[in-house]
Amino acid sequence: MYQGAPVTTLLCDAMGTLVHLTDPVRALGEALIARGAHNSAEVVANALRAEIAFYRAHHLRGSTPAGVAELRAECADVCSAHLTQTVRHEDLVAILVEALAVVVYPDVHAALWDLRQAGVTIVVVSDWDVSLGAQLRALGVADLVDAVVVSADIGVTKPDQQLFHAALRAVDALPDGAMCCGDDLIRDVAGAHGSGIRAVLLDRDGRFPERTDTVRSLAEIIELR
């Protein structure tokens, strides 16, 4: 499936591909206890599930820094409603942001560097609010990519073709020379295919051994060019 024009542009997903959460349940639970609010791990997990679901449903509103701040405040309200004991609203907003902080997968920096050295243009395309660029800068990823395109800027989420086309436009690329890498079969793989872009599924845990369009590490992308 990788026959055709050489890959000159990589559209790369963020969550689950470049970055991931560590243990937000533990982080949030411990932060709450430190402030005198005791909740069981199950309660904290349920509160986080509700908060994450709310964020996913409403993250397009985070198209400006002010919108992101408002969204985080509402996410804290949702989380608080599911806790047995809670803390001041402004404190909960802050500890939620910290508990949900992402980290970079170990293979990412080297893989992106190698791809850039090979002449590949890299665009991060993600269902995220406009804070993603700042987060990638803090993680040392922003200097290794050419553009960051988020759904909150475009107004649609994956697998909508508009998001993939916007990513191509950001670097003046064409579908024929592009490939998308992500960890979601529908949002990333099907979305890319629907936009006329080749796609590879990043299957770090070997969930889909029967598929032939997978890689186990971002470093393997260099071999598909």
Q: Which region holds residue 119: left if phi is over 0, alpha if psi is between -120 and 50, else beta?
A: left
Average pLDDT, integer, range 45-55: 98
Q: Which of 214, 196, 191 is nearest to 204 (CA)?
A: 214
Tally of CA atoms within 13 A in the half-sphere of 35 that contains its CB: 17
Average pLDDT, integer, range 63-91: 98
| 9-18+105-224 classified as CATH 3.40.50.1000 | yes
β-strand 102-104 against 121-126: which pairing, if any?
unpaired
Write down the pLDDT at residue 3: 54
Give me the residue spans of the domains in the chain.
9-18+105-224, 22-101
Q: 3-state class of 220 per DSSP?
A: helix
Write down the pLDDT at residue 4: 59
Tally of CA atoms within 13 A in the half-sphere of 102 that contains its CB: 22
CB 143 within 8 A of CB 30: no
Write down the pLDDT at residue 6: 84
User: pTM of the full predicted structure?
Assistant: 0.92
Using CB atoms within 10 Å of the CB of residue 51, give its burial: 0 to 12 exposed, 13 to 18 middle, 19+ buried: buried
> How high is the mean pLDDT of the chain?
95
